[in-house]
Amino acid sequence: MKISPLRPRLLATIVGTLALTPFVASADESVPVGEGAVPVGEEALPVGEGAVPVGEGAVPVGEGAVPVGEGAVPVGEGAVPVGEGAVPVGEGAVPIGEGAVPVGEGAVPVGEGAVPVGEGAVPVGEGAVPVGEGAVPVGEGAVPVGEGAVPVGEGATPADAATIKLRRANRAAAQKAPETAHFFSDNSGDTSLNERLSKAIQINSSLSQSVTAERRRENSEWAEQALASATSRPADLFSRTWWNEHKPSGASSSYFTTKSSAIWWGATNWPTLARVFAIPGGTKPFAYVYDQNVTFKSDLIYVNGQPISSYEDFVASSRKLANSFATKDNDPNWIPFGTFALSTSVKTKTSDHAVQLVVDADGNIAGTYANWKNGTVESIHGRVDIDTQRVAFDIGGQANLTIETGLTNLTNDKVRVWAHLPNNHSQTWFLARMRR
C-alpha cells in the first residue's frame, strides 16, 4: 500500500472548522411611507388645498405663515414624512418591528432548535462528555463545559455568543482581581510561568481513587476500540522498507536510520529517563491529568490547585516548547517512547492514525505521523522541559496543531493527551501503544 506525503491536508484531515453567516436585514424591509405622502422631484414643494406658491423663489404670504392643508405636513429640503408609527430610515437603517431581534457584536441568530453548522462542523450531541486520564474536566473549572470553557471533543466548534460573553466577563474579572491580575499582564512571560509550574508539580497531592478507577476503565475501553480499528494499518507500517519509501519530506532527523526499526516499537520507563536527563534522585514523576491535577477556571490554568497562567499563555508556552526542537541528524542516542495508535474522537474511539515518538538526551522529541486511510505522512518535532516534565510536539511542523502531555505519561500504554488546535480550541486525544 503506497502512502505519499500530503502535508497541506493534515490539519483539514483532523480538525473541522465552523463558518457562521452574519445576520443581515433583507431587502423586503424597505422604507416605510406615510399615507399619501409622496416626495416629488428635486427640491419640489408640496401643494396643499388651494395653496399655490407662485414665482421663482416665491414665499407664502403672511407673517411667518406656512400654508397647511388638512393633515398637511411641512416638507423642506431633505424633510422626512412621519406618519403614525413611521420609522425614520437613513442610510443602512434597519426597521425594528414586533419581534425584531437586534444583533450585537458576535450575536448569532438562532431559530427554534436551530444549530449553526459550518463547513466540516460537527454538532456535539447529548451525552458527548470527554473523560479519562488527560481529559479536560466538566463542570466548575472544566473544559469544555462551564464558566469560560474551551470546547473539547470531536470536531470542537467555536463557542456560541453566550459562552463568549461569559468567558470575556470571567477574564475581565480575573484581570482585575489582585491575586490573578498579573497573569494577564505583559510582564508574565514563559520564565515566570515555568517557575510557577515547576513549583506546582512538586506539591504533594492525591487523586480521587474512585475517579482514577473510573478513568482506568474508560482508558481500557478507548484503547481496546482504537487498537481494534488500527488492525487495518499496513502490515509493513514503520518497517525499514516502509520508511525508505515514505520518509516524510522535510524531516530534519533521520532517527529511523540509527537503529533497527523494531527498536522504535519498544518503550522506556521513568528510571531510564531520570538517568538520561540527570533528574535529581528522589524526584517524583508528575503525570499531567487534565481534569484532576490540571484544571481550567475563569480563563486560568491551575496545577495542583495553584494558578499558573491564563489559558492563552499556557497554550502559547506549549507551542513555544514544541518549536524549541533542536537536534542534529542521525543522533545515535535516540530513546524510544514507542508507537501508538492515535484516536482523535472520544465518541467513536477509533483510529486510522499512528505516531512513533523518540527522545534524545537533550530532550528533543522526534518521530513520524502516518494516516494510512488517506495516505498522509508527516514528521514530528517537539521537546521536553525537564524542570516541569512537560512534553509538547507538533505534527508536520504546523505550529497551530500542538499536542502536549507529561514525560512520565509517555511511559504508559494508554495516554490521554491535550491537543491544541487553531483559534484557542483544545481537545482530548488518546494514544494506545501498538505492538508489532
Q: In total, how many domains does the chain have?
A: 1
325: domain range? 128-433
Predicted TM-score (pTM) of the model is 0.63
Spatial CB neighbours of 427, under 8 Å, sequence gap ≥ 6: 130, 151, 152, 153, 154, 156, 344, 418, 419, 421
Decide if 1 is inside a domain. Answer: no
b/e string for 221-240 if b means 16 or more Cβ within 10 A?
ebbebbbebbeebeeebbbe
Helix/strand/coil for 337: strand
pLDDT at 418: 94
Residue showing cell 535529581 = 280
Closest CA to 296 of 133, 130, 129, 149: 149
Q: Which residues of the chain have pLDDT under 70?
A: 1-168, 171, 174-191, 250-253, 328-329, 398-399
Helices and strands (H and E) in the chain: how many = 7, 11
Decide if 271 is inside a domain. Answer: yes
Q: Output the nine-digit C-alpha cell for 284.
A: 517524583
Decide if 33 is inside a domain. Answer: no
301 forms beta bridges with 296, 309
Residue type, 294: V
Cα–Cα distance between 391 and 358 in angstroms, integer?
12
Closest CA to 132 of 391, 336, 431, 395: 431
**Residues 298 and 143: beta-carbon distance below 8 Å:** no
Cα–Cα distance between 333 and 255 in angstroms, integer?
9
Helix/strand/coil for 416: strand
Decide if 355 is inside a domain. Answer: yes
pLDDT at 179: 62
Residue type, 7: R
Decide if 96 is inside a domain. Answer: no
Cα–Cα distance between 193 and 290 in angstroms, integer?
17
**Residues 264 and 356: beta-carbon distance below 8 Å:** yes
Question: Residue 55 gets which letter from DSSP?
Answer: S
Closest CA to 94 of 39, 31, 37, 35: 31
Burial of 164 (0-12, 13-18, 19+ CB in 10 A): middle
CA count, 13 A, side-chain hemisphere, 416:
30
Burial of 220 (0-12, 13-18, 19+ CB in 10 A): middle
**Residues 434 and 339: beta-carbon distance below 8 Å:** yes
pLDDT at 166: 66
Decide if 97 is inside a domain. Answer: no
Decide if 200 is inside a domain. Answer: yes
